[in-house]
A and B are shown apart, each in its own frame.
Chain A
Amino acid sequence: MAAAAPATSTGPATASTPLLEIFGLTVGYGWEGRPMSTVVRGVDLSVGAGEVVGIAGESGCGKTTLALAATGLLDPPGQVLSGSVRFCGRDLLALSQRELRTVHLSEISMVFQASMNVLNPVMRIRDQFLDAMKAHGVEDRDGAVARAKEMFDLVKVPRRFFEAFPHQLSGGMRQRTVIALALVLRPQLLVLDEPTTALDVVVQRSILEMLDELRNELGFGVVFITHDLSLLVEIADRITIMYAGLAVEQAPARQLYEGPRHPYSQALMRAFPPLGGERRRLEGIAGQPPDLRQLPPGCSFQPRCPRAIAGTCEVVAPPLVRFEAEHWAVCHLYDRVDDHPNVTDQGLGEDHGEKGATVG
């Protein structure tokens, strides 16, 4: 598959060189001698300094595995089968466990879905901050405390909770605290895997706003993984849509929102009811994602695709078609783009009927 990002380069991240560059990353799970299921297949991704890159897709499409492999956190039976991950020009996959430990937290930080549970329940939050900083060579204890408290201010958790145990904090505050911990050593890249899914909408929104402010202030790059595409288009600069381990479309958030090209992206976009407007019936995505051990030949999405071309899609793997510099999709529909001028013009189905008020 063709590369999505410009040519490789080495050296520290600048405005022109991305922070994180992933090329053709292929990851599988399986024990020796047993069939391997490939859950990430040749994914390219780049993240620049201060940029928010979103990854969206259904459960099981490989989002989390991609994030784990790209940050060197993949444990057996998972293994990187091919491809490369460069962070600030360094080959991340070639680093030893020891070297990775120094990279984690100080240069790359991760926040996961249930990460409010990563805090040790029997340790004061202060000690968990100090431990983490000490492990990364911050010897000056008073300085470390000051730095941690500064982070508390930034994530808007009252300083009095610095001495608290995790159970004394609400879910939202715990998640803020974890983000503070992730950022205390000022990493250049923050990987967030469904960081707000377990939280209420209001709490979720205030955490996202806070992250945005922090990013403006500290300038780190963000990889944001979620299944909530309607949320992602609001907060991401660029979005990659994954299906069955493949990146099937990538575009700037606005372009993806206004004109998704891949039928899967289109279906995913329509899977979220709008907040307002006329009430009309929407359809979900029929069928289920394929078994990754027995992928259909040709396009993986073809069995569920409403626009599959008979004789082509189930036989030949689809090509990567570039619509604009930053917008491409992997789909047969666009082999010759000119043939399909109204590619996104899809009816949304029957009207949902009159709404009426009765209750009250």
Chain B
Amino acid sequence: MSLTRAWGRTTGKRGPLLVSTLGAPGAPRQAAEEPLAVLEVHGLTKTYTVGRVGHQRTVQAMTSVDLTLAPGRVLGLVGESGSGKTTFVRTVAYLERPAAGEIRVLGRALPRHPSQRRLREHRAQVQMIFQDPYTSLDPLHTVRYSVARPLRSFDVVPRRALAGAVDDLLEQVGLVPPAEFLRRYPYQLSGGQRQRVGIARALAAQPALLLADEPTSMLDVSIRLSIMNLLLDLQRSRSLSMVFVTHDLAGASYMSDTIAIMYAGHLVEMGPASEVMGSPRHPYTQLLREAAPDPDKHFGASRRFDARGDPPDLTNLPSGCPFAPRCPHVRPECRAELPQWRAVSPSQKVRCALY
């Protein structure tokens, strides 16, 4: 059965297409002297329909996201539960079909209804590392099988070189000696080891882009850092591009060159990690920054923290800026329409009417 048929036409619901200053959808590729972006996303939108028949509501999971990621760079995508960050990576990996928008990998656009063959080409370039290492490996298959599978399906190495390639990958992710892990089943591995298998599996396809969806949030504190370091080492040695999804600002700034902040399915701020962390401009980024543990700053002083209300209801987003109901600096125009992107420095921009 073709994938187009399998996925049917039920997801055709289009979300509102918002105007973007970042270049119109389908904008021409970058000038020749600039390196080709690994990932370009324009107006990416995803909606889900929930509820039983007659009581259906539309969840606006992601609204018109525009992003460009240069080769060899790490983008930290930060947001709370329900902010759409997982939806973003799953849509880019085409595990979900976008409601609207365009995905370009290495300059090549993915058609709205890709053939199975085109989809395989896409996934050879874009690989995902999942949040939960306890459920993302098939419990019935050995480590060898899980890692060899993408090597075979993407024709990465000739058949006779398969065993050597698997050993290689396991060594690269620190599962040494490989012989000790090849025959193990997921239940025989610790959480950190499983996540390493997940990383090896993603690398096996030799992707240009790695999408890491909160890869450390299920792991114990002592192993988080080693997994993050492993990802950074691999990213560097292979000049991979990576989207690192997290809710942890400190982790994002440790991993990323650029940080993008997401709120209620919208990107609200983007810039170099040091600038976004050092001088957050969007009121939501400031709220996140204020909420994160920061002993240097907060010792002894009792801070006044005000979350100003609850996380947004994605089935009933306000018109205008989604953060307006909680924003301490809200102005009438914020409720009228979504603010445009504004540059607050040569490299930092924010979607807020304050600037």
Asked if B222 CB lies within 8 Å of chain A CBs, one says yes
Is B258 touching A358 in the complex (CB atoms < 8 A)? yes
- List which A73-93 residues lie within 8 A (CB) of chain B: none
Is B73 touching A254 in the complex (CB atoms < 8 A)? no
With A and B bound together, what is the CA distance between A279 and B80 in angstroms? Answer: 23
Q: Do most interface residues of chain B lie in helix, strand or loop, or is the interface mixed?
A: mixed
**Chain B nearest CB: distance from A54 CB in Å?**
12
The answer to whether A268 and B293 touch (CB under 8 A), given A203-B307, A355-B257, A357-B271, is no
- List which B296-319 residues lie within 8 A (CB) of chain A: 296, 298-300, 302-303, 305-307, 310-311
Asked if B247 CB lies within 8 Å of chain A CBs, one says yes
Is B288 touching A268 in the complex (CB atoms < 8 A)? no
Q: Which stretch (A41-49, A138-146, A225-233) binds chain B?
A: A225-233
Asked if B221 CB lies within 8 Å of chain A CBs, one says yes
Pick from A59, A201, A288 the residue with the most CB of B within 10 Å. Answer: A201
Asked if A285 CB lies within 8 Å of chain B CBs, one says yes
- List which A282-300 residues lie within 8 A (CB) of chain B: 282-286, 288
Asked if B220 CB lies within 8 Å of chain A CBs, one says yes
Asked if B25 CB lies within 8 Å of chain A CBs, one says no
Chain B 199-233, CB-CB to A under 8 Å as 1, else 0, gives: 00000000000000000000011111110110000
- List which B251-292 residues lie within 8 A (CB) of chain A: 251, 253-254, 257-258, 260, 270-275, 277-278, 287-292
Asked if A273 CB lies within 8 Å of chain B CBs, one says yes
Chain B residues lying within 8 Å of A310, measured Cβ to Cβ, are none
Chain A: CB-nearest residue to B326? A202
Is B223 touching A284 in the complex (CB atoms < 8 A)? yes
**Chain B nearest CB: distance from A229 CB in Å?**
8
Is A275 touching B258 in the complex (CB atoms < 8 A)? no
Chain B residues lying within 8 Å of A209, measured Cβ to Cβ, are 303, 305
Pick from B287, B289, B299, B307 the residue with the most CB of A within 10 Å. Answer: B307
Is A288 touching B347 in the complex (CB atoms < 8 A)? no
With A and B bound together, what is the CA distance between A201 and B293 in angstroms? Answer: 9
With A and B bound together, what is the CA distance between A170 and B307 in angstroms? Answer: 14
Is A275 touching B277 in the complex (CB atoms < 8 A)? yes
Asked if A359 CB lies within 8 Å of chain B CBs, one says yes
With A and B bound together, what is the CA distance between A203 and B295 in angstroms? Answer: 18
Is A275 touching B249 in the complex (CB atoms < 8 A)? yes
**Chain A nearest CB: distance from B156 CB in Å?**
28
Is A271 touching B225 in the complex (CB atoms < 8 A)? yes
Q: Pick from B228, B254, B295: contact of A257, CB below 8 A.
A: B295
With A and B bound together, what is the CA distance between A281 and B254 in angstroms? Answer: 8
**Chain B nearest CB: distance from A95 CB in Å?**
34
Is B295 touching A359 in the complex (CB atoms < 8 A)? no
With A and B bound together, what is the CA distance between A288 and B223 in angstroms? Answer: 9
The answer to whether A359 and B80 touch (CB under 8 A), given A172-B310, A227-B221, is no
With A and B bound together, what is the CA distance between A282 and B73 in angstroms? Answer: 20
The answer to whether A279 and B253 touch (CB under 8 A), given A288-B190, A359-B70, is yes
The answer to whether A275 and B81 touch (CB under 8 A), given A227-B221, A359-B68, is no
**Chain A nearest CB: distance from B114 CB in Å?**
25
Chain B residues lying within 8 Å of A204, measured Cβ to Cβ, are 291
Asked if A274 CB lies within 8 Å of chain B CBs, one says yes
The answer to whether A285 and B222 touch (CB under 8 A), given A358-B70, A360-B271, is yes
**Chain A nearest CB: distance from B39 CB in Å?**
9
What number of B residues sit within 8 Å (CB to CB) of A? 58
The answer to whether A359 and B75 touch (CB under 8 A), given A203-B307, A254-B300, A284-B225, is yes
Is B250 touching A360 in the complex (CB atoms < 8 A)? no
Chain A 214-239, CB-CB to B under 8 Å as 1, else 0, gives: 00000000000001111101100000
Chain A residues lying within 8 Å of B69, measured Cβ to Cβ, are 359
Chain A 267-278, CB-CB to B under 8 Å as 1, else 0, gives: 110011111100
The answer to whether A234 and B295 touch (CB under 8 A), given A170-B311, A358-B73, A358-B257, is yes
The answer to whether A360 and B291 touch (CB under 8 A), given A200-B81, A227-B221, is no
Asked if B67 CB lies within 8 Å of chain A CBs, one says yes
Is B278 touching A276 in the complex (CB atoms < 8 A)? yes
Asked if B349 CB lies within 8 Å of chain A CBs, one says yes
With A and B bound together, what is the CA distance between A267 and B288 in angstroms? Answer: 26
Pick from B222, B249, B278, B289 the residue with the most CB of A within 10 Å. Answer: B222
Asked if B294 CB lies within 8 Å of chain A CBs, one says yes
Is A230 touching B222 in the complex (CB atoms < 8 A)? no
Chain B residues lying within 8 Å of A281, measured Cβ to Cβ, are 229
**Chain A nearest CB: distance from B305 CB in Å?**
5
Chain B residues lying within 8 Å of A279, measured Cβ to Cβ, are 253-254, 273-274
Asked if A137 CB lies within 8 Å of chain B CBs, one says no
With A and B bound together, what is the CA distance between A233 and B300 in angstroms? Answer: 10
The answer to whether A205 and B305 touch (CB under 8 A), given A275-B277, A276-B253, A284-B226, is yes
Chain B: CB-nearest residue to A286? B226
Chain A: CB-nearest residue to B349? A360
Chain B residues lying within 8 Å of A8, measured Cβ to Cβ, are none
With A and B bound together, what is the CA distance between A205 and B303 in angstroms? Answer: 10
Chain A residues lying within 8 Å of B81, measured Cβ to Cβ, are 200
- List which B80-114 residues lie within 8 A (CB) of chain A: 80-81
Is A170 touching B224 in the complex (CB atoms < 8 A)? no
**Chain B nearest CB: distance from A209 CB in Å?**
5
Chain A residues lying within 8 Å of B302, measured Cβ to Cβ, are 212
Q: Pick from A206, A230, A282, A358: contact of B307, CB below 8 A.
A: A206
Chain B 59-74, CB-CB to A under 8 Å as 1, else 0, gives: 0000000011110010
Asked if A356 CB lies within 8 Å of chain B CBs, one says yes
Chain A residues lying within 8 Å of B67, measured Cβ to Cβ, are 359
Asked if A58 CB lies within 8 Å of chain B CBs, one says yes
Chain A: CB-nearest residue to B310? A170
Chain B residues lying within 8 Å of A286, measured Cβ to Cβ, are 226
Is A202 touching B277 in the complex (CB atoms < 8 A)? no
Between A and B, 29 residue pairs with Cβ closer than 8 Å are A200-B247, A201-B247, A201-B248, A202-B80, A202-B287, A202-B311, A203-B80, A206-B306, A206-B307, A227-B221, A230-B295, A233-B293, A234-B295, A257-B299, A271-B222, A272-B250, A275-B250, A279-B273, A279-B274, A283-B225, A283-B229, A284-B225, A284-B226, A284-B229, A285-B222, A288-B190, A355-B273, A359-B67, A360-B270
Q: A202-B311, A271-B225, A355-B272 are in contact. List 10 more A-B contacts (CB 8 A).
A: A201-B248, A205-B292, A205-B307, A206-B307, A212-B302, A228-B293, A233-B293, A233-B295, A288-B190, A357-B347
Residues of chain B at the chain A interface (Cβ within 8 Å): 67-70, 73, 75, 80-81, 190, 220-226, 228-229, 247-251, 253-254, 257-258, 260, 270-275, 277-278, 287-296, 298-300, 302-303, 305-307, 310-311, 347, 349
